[in-house]
Amino acid sequence: MTTVNDRPETAWRNPLRDKRDKRMPRIPGPCGVVIFGVTGDLARKKLMPAIYDLANRGLLPASFALVGFARREWADQDFANVVFEAVKEHARTPFRQEVWDRLAEGFRFVQGTFDDEAAFERLSETLDKLDAERGTGGNHAFYLSIPPNAFPQVCEQLCKSGLARPRDDRWSRVVIEKPFGHDLKSARELNAVVNSVFPEESVFRIDHYLGKETVQNILALRFANALYEPIWNNNYIDHVQITMAEDIGLGGRAGYYDGIGAARDVIQNHLLQLLALTALEEPVSFSPHELQAEKIKVLSAVKLAEPLDETTARGQYAAGWQGGEKVVGLLDEQGFAKDSTTETYAAITLEIDTRRWAGVPFYLRTGKRLGRRVTEIALVFKRAPHLPFDATMTEELGQNALVIRVQPDEGITLRFGSKVPGSAMEVRDVNMDFSYGSAFAEDSPEAYERLILDVLLGEPSLFPVNAEVELSWEILDPVLDYWATHGKPEAYESGTWGPASADEMLHRTGREWRRP
Ligand SMILES: NC(=O)c1ccc[n+]([C@@H]2O[C@H](COP(=O)([O-])OP(=O)(O)OC[C@H]3O[C@@H](n4cnc5c(N)ncnc54)[C@H](OP(=O)(O)O)[C@@H]3O)[C@@H](O)[C@H]2O)c1
């Protein structure tokens, strides 16, 4: 089957092809996906369901295969049963037997551990066989859904077995999940290992936030409209708040989270990526290279506001009430050290040294066991320079705000002052809402659907390159070093909006956190 992606970019360009309706879905050429860590949480809840959903939407090539690699003694059929359960439980689209049957014909399982060279030989033979039997064309994506300390070993095994270096015009890509290191030094070491095996254009680092429609819509909102860009600067914007709040706790995640904390887990990747998209200059085009160049430029201009004892805050959740249930504090969660100093809440203040943003603080915060699950970017505008009303009539008028709601209830809210009906000229805040759910008939695809599809298409726009990862650590490292030598996180009650020090951080500048 010929697909749009079969031909190399340098090939003669058919003018009809260039006039292709860009709304038509792009389908990757023949290929296979190998998932390392198929027994893990991420594979079960996100990756296997996303692959089924792509198949169900007709977005996978007919010649497709999925290979699981894990240490269990499974036959191909056992693996197929595991994928089936994952799909039944977590897929977004309805189950269709004929789609499943066709997809499952391409399932294979390879048993082994990461230090076992023979297992990688078996993997190589399995892929060769699939190329011959299913026409997967020697094109493979290796998805490392495994503990980060195993990344180097698996990359080296892929190198030794020859799987990382495809022949001729075939491709071999590696997909890695955050965390990309735990500080600048380890990130550089990881990048060096990965890049010694895979060239940078074959490395796809997943920050699943970038796969979300609402996040991609930041660029549409800013650059497809005349309305916002003229006010998207320090003449009109007072400050920006970027929030990722979760109501869940960390029960069962001690192995991953203890010693890592909220800043490394969320600020270094998701929140700094949201900041980059909010603050970047207009790219020359949306080609991956141009977009990345603008993200790198703006991240290079970001600096921490100081002094850090006033411009940062961290906390750790204590017992409290959440959704009508009594919940324990972090120190009583299973697996956490009784004297753990891991922060479950982190807030930092950033400045951006550019003409557009000079003087506009960007406040980033994230936490577990907060009042509500919500991710949003709020641009809070300066007050009108003059209010020709009696002061008592504007007591309930706040600052105008444009809020990009990333999740849940994806959409955009504009908050502004409006006259309260009645004989007096009383002005109060109101909200104007755009909601994805009601504006578009089609459900947004899951982030992992979009990202896996882009890996198979070789489309790198939504994946941070190593320069972005390293710049993000450069921004965050001084905070982590400061916290490591200055006390411990402040306790906050579960179900509230974090520690008092985070409120003080904003009050010092006469501002307040939003309570979404
Ligand atoms: N879960 C999420 O929502 C999420 C979100 C963002 C990023 N991530 C990242 O995604 C990756 C996977 O996360 P996860 O939550 O799925 O982890 P997980 O539940 O701990 O699964 C890890 C997987 O790796 C396998 N594994 C570990 N050591 C191995 C070895 N020596 N040889 C062979 N297999 C080995 C495990 O197999 P066994 O079953 O045999 O132990 C398991 O399948 C991690 O890098 C994580 O940081 C996860």
Three-class secondary structure assignment of 147-196: CHHHHHHHHHHHHHCCCCCCCCCCCEEEEEECCCCCCHHHHHHHHHHHHH
Which of 45, 46, 113, 145 best tests ligand 1's pocket when mutated (most atoms within 8 Å of CB)?
A: 145
Q: Please name the amino acid found at residue 315.
A: G
What values do phi and psi take at 112, rounded to 5? 170, 170
Tell me the sheet residues that pair with 70. 111
pLDDT value for 10: 38
Using an 8 Å Cβ cutoff, are 467 and 191 in contact?
A: no
> Would you list the DSSP string of 83-110?
HHHHHHHH-SSPP-HHHHHHHHTTEEEE
Residues of the chain with pLDDT under 50: 1-18
DSSP 384-414: PS---S-GGGGTT----EEEEEEESS-EEEE
Please report which residue ranges of 31-150 form alpha helices under DSSP H: 41-42, 48-56, 76-90, 97-104, 117-134
Site to probe by mutation for ligand 1, drawn from 36, 42, 153, 177 as the one with most ligand atoms within 8 Å of Cβ, is: 42
Q: Which of 270, 289, 386, 486 is the catalytic position?
A: 270
Number of neighbouring beta carbons within 10 Å of residue 397: 18
Ligand 1 centre to CA of 179 (Å) is: 12
The DSSP code for 265 is I
Find out whether the peptide bond into 408 is cis, omega within 30 degrees of 0. Answer: yes
CA dihedral of 202, 203, 205, 210, whole degrees rounded to 10:
-20
- With a Cβ cut-off of 6 Å, ligand 1 is lined by 37-43, 70-71, 113-114, 145-148, 150, 177-178, 256
The CA–CA distances, whole Å, from 290 to 9, 296, 298, 387, 424 equal 17, 10, 13, 43, 53
For the CA of 114, the closest atom of ligand 1 is 32
pLDDT score recorded for residue 22: 63
Count of H-run helices and E-run strands, the chain: 18, 17
Rounded to the nearest angstrom, the distance between the alpha carbon of 173 and the centre of ligand 1 is 19
> Closest Cα to atom 4, ligand 1: which residue?
42
Query: What digits encode the pLDDT tens for the residues 273-282?
Result: 999 999 999 9
Query: What is the distance between the alpha carbons of residues 459 and 436, in angstroms, rounded to a whole number?
Result: 25
Q: Distance between CA atoms of 75 and 71, rounded to whole angstroms?
A: 12
pTM of the model: 0.92
Q: Is 140 helix (H, G, I), strand (E, B) or coil?
A: strand
The answer to whether the beta carbons of residues 206 and 176 sit under 8 Å apart is yes
Which uninterrupted H or E stretch holds 72? Answer: none
Rounded CA separation 108/74 (Å): 10
Question: Does 270 participate in catalysis according to the annotation?
Answer: yes
Q: According to the annotation, is 129 in a ligand binding site?
A: no
- CA 42 – ligand 1 centroid, Å: 7
Residue 2: the pLDDT is: 39
Instruction: Please return the burial class of 154, using the count of CB atoms within 10 Å of its CB with bins 0-12, 13-18 and 19+.
Output: buried
Taking CA atoms, 297 is separated from 138, 220, 281, 308, 467, in Å, by: 37, 20, 9, 24, 10
